[in-house]
Amino acid sequence: MVIKIDFQSSEALYIQLRNQIILGIATSRIQEGDALPSVRQLAEDIGINMHTVNKAYAVLRQEGFLTIDRRRGAVIALDADKMQALDEMKRSLRVLLAKGRCKSISCREVHELVDEIFAEYAQEQ
């Protein structure tokens, strides 16, 4: 698993880590049932604090992307509740679309962007 952290970014490290894992799932580099590295190992591998990795894993668990197994540690286990996932996506999109609207980004441009990004996931599977 390749995790890219931008130490110059203003985005919190745990959010970057969370996003990298979600992108890994979306592009099938990480599959349901895969065990993630231990908190200690991942922190050491990418050069960040263990508490940062722990926070990212906790957020992913809360969002329904992984479970914590006594023997295997953090394991990818996607939440089957599609309606909950759609509600979460809707809440996130509201803010992103409002930002785009403030910058005069058109509906057509948003649709093109969504199609482009979705196509990237389809190609990588």
pLDDT tens digits, one per residue of 18-44 = 999 999 998 889 999 999 999 999 999
Q: What is the pLDDT of residues 47-104, one digit of tens each?
A: 999 999 999 999 999 998 999 888 899 999 887 677 778 888 999 999 999 999 999 9
Predicted pLDDT of residue 125: 55
CA distance 123 to 105: 26
Go through the domains of the chain in sequence order and give each one's CATH number.
13-76 (1.10.10.10), 82-124 (no CATH)
Please give the model's pTM, rounded to 2 decimal places: 0.74
Encoded tokens for 2? 């390749």
Q: Which amino acid is at 19?
A: N
| Orientation angle between helical segments 13-26 and 50-62, nearest 10 degrees | 50
